[in-house]
A = this chain, B = another copy of it.
């Protein structure tokens, strides 16, 4: 175990009807807020009305900025920053999934900053402060509701960049599993793959003596494996939806990273995929992760065998550890397929046309490597794309 610092100040308000406390929780911080959301789904579902009612009853003045898209855009962030400055807004309430939350975080960091907020994402500057952000979560996937990071896309060149800073932790996250009842099956499955990927990126580490966090990762993965099929089978299964939602937060709130170094190559490899093709992040991860595993498992067969045995209940064959390891990778792939996700590029109608280009973008044409568990150069990344065909 390596030295670590762990702090996560986000207040989680979890359970049925909790969106009705949005006003009370917000009032602690502000009387004048920006309500930030995406398209019309929260209006159709009635969530918008309940949140507005709660805010109105708390006597909070509300300005609105809607229209956040998947891969949230810098232009809308800039618009939000201007609106907050013009109106003297000092709190942002994000109602939605990871994209809305990330957009809110970027606005929050940009308001008190004199320069261009993109400076934070391009690495030119670090935010010293940010407006407080509250969340009403509607999609378990990104983990942004209790994380210190945000990813924004700059349309000027279509750069997609991330920012991690302590000031980006939301001050509260309201999480009602009932809000996820209406998620389509495919979106539920994509969210599940994203959550599982967050855990697996942390699980595959070269740091030794990480028994406790290994077991916490395994517990969280097993929770997903048990409950995602239940939620798909019965979308209004509160218990299953609740397990997934809470597991999705813990998967990415940094507890599972304590004392270890994660890999994160698969996220980088997937990133180029969804930058070029119109494919959901979770679906891309379902394709990339098994391929990455097949490419790197020999680096630490014992860790992969432990993954197979403890997470997927593969019988441990001490005389053929490689067989044990491979059965685990196969079980993961089968699981992703069973919940309706593609596990090959071909299943997502992606051919080899852009593989070289993606491998170049992923590694600066070979000028840097990615991944901590195994360092991957440009050709490694290309080989993984090919394995995924």
**A interface residue numbers (CB < 8 A to B):** 1-16, 18, 208-209, 211-212, 215-216, 218-220, 222-223, 226-227, 238-239, 242-243, 246-247, 250, 255, 258-259
Contacts and interface: CB of A to CB of B under 8 A. Distances in A.
A242 B219 contact: no
A207 to B, nearest CB: 11
B12 A5 contact: yes
A242 B5 contact: no
A129 B259 CA distance: 33
Given A1-B239, A9-B7, A242-B1, A258 B212 contact: no
A227 B211 contact: yes
Given A5-B11, A243-B1, A223 B212 contact: yes
Contacts of A227: 211
A13 B18 contact: no
B226 A220 contact: no
A208 B237 CA distance: 13
Given A212-B243, A212-B247, A242-B259, 4 more contacts: A211-B223, A212-B219, A212-B246, A215-B222
Interface centre among A5, A7, A212, A246 (most CB of B within 10 A): A212
B11 A243 contact: no
Given A208-B239, A211-B227, A219-B216, A14 B6 contact: yes
A5 B14 contact: yes
A4 B86 CA distance: 37
A7 B10 contact: yes
A8 B223 CA distance: 23
Contacts of A223: 211-212, 215
A212 B220 contact: yes
Contacts of A216: 216, 219-220, 250
B11 A4 contact: no
A303 to B, nearest CB: 16
Contacts of A3: 14-16, 18
A289 to B, nearest CB: 21
A231 to B, nearest CB: 12
A274 B182 CA distance: 53
15 contacts: A3-B15, A3-B18, A12-B258, A209-B238, A209-B242, A209-B243, A211-B226, A211-B243, A212-B220, A212-B223, A212-B246, A215-B222, A215-B223, A216-B250, A219-B219
Contacts of A10: 7
A212 B219 CA distance: 7
Contact of A14 (B4, B9, B226): B4
A150 to B, nearest CB: 21
A258 B14 contact: yes
Nearest to A17: B3
A255 B227 CA distance: 20
A14 B212 CA distance: 14
A278 to B, nearest CB: 33
A6 B128 CA distance: 27
Contacts of A212: 219-220, 223, 243, 246-247, 250
